[in-house]
Amino acid sequence: MLVLLAAIFGLHIVGIILLLVATIDNAWWITDISSTDVWARWILTNGVWNYTDLPSGHPYPQEYLQAVQASSVLACIFSILGIFVFVAQLFTLSKGQRFTLSGVFQLLACLCIMIAASIYTDRFHINESDGWYGHCFILAWISFALTFISSIIYFVLRKKTA
């Protein structure tokens, strides 16, 4: 059982790292001369990457952008809270109650990153054909899967002994 708990802990840590990279790094949408994330745009000018704000209005509607930003940050917060709750529950709660709260936090993180990635897919770069989704966008969807899997594992393990 100790190996299983260590594997779950490792899966949770990997999910947190992927969520943080997807939220912080600057590669949700990439073209040959720019790299865009949910916070800013980097434009390549004379061989140097220059930081610029995201344009407001049509290509980046502010209400959707703020929803993506908030959902990404909330996913990170919920997942980090989930790991602390997981460790605390190992030592404080009895069998049958042990991993429920950790599973709830992971499920909330899963839903938040799914909302962020879904809004980004649906509302941004719809009519652009000269770019592609970057590694952060892909990491967001991978972290969605990992947080969903870990939340299911927490709910299944709540009745097991440790």
pLDDT at 161: 53
pLDDT at 113: 97
pLDDT at 66: 93
Domain positions in the chain are 2-157
Each residue's pLDDT, cut to its tens digit, for the chain (162 residues) gives: 778 888 999 999 999 999 999 999 989 999 999 999 899 999 999 999 999 988 877 777 889 999 999 999 999 999 999 999 998 888 786 665 678 889 999 999 999 999 999 999 998 888 888 889 999 999 999 999 999 999 999 888 876 654
What does pTM read for this prediction?
0.89
Distance in angstroms (rounded) separating the CA atoms of residues 74 and 18: 14
Which of 17, 148, 9 has its CA nearest to residue 90? 9
Regarding beta strands 41-45 and 29-30, do their DSSP bridges make them parallel or antiparallel, or are they unpaired?
A: unpaired
pLDDT at 143: 96
pLDDT at 57: 72
Domain 2-157 has CATH 1.20.140.150: yes
pLDDT at 5: 84
Distance in angstroms (rounded) separating the CA atoms of residues 148 and 157: 14
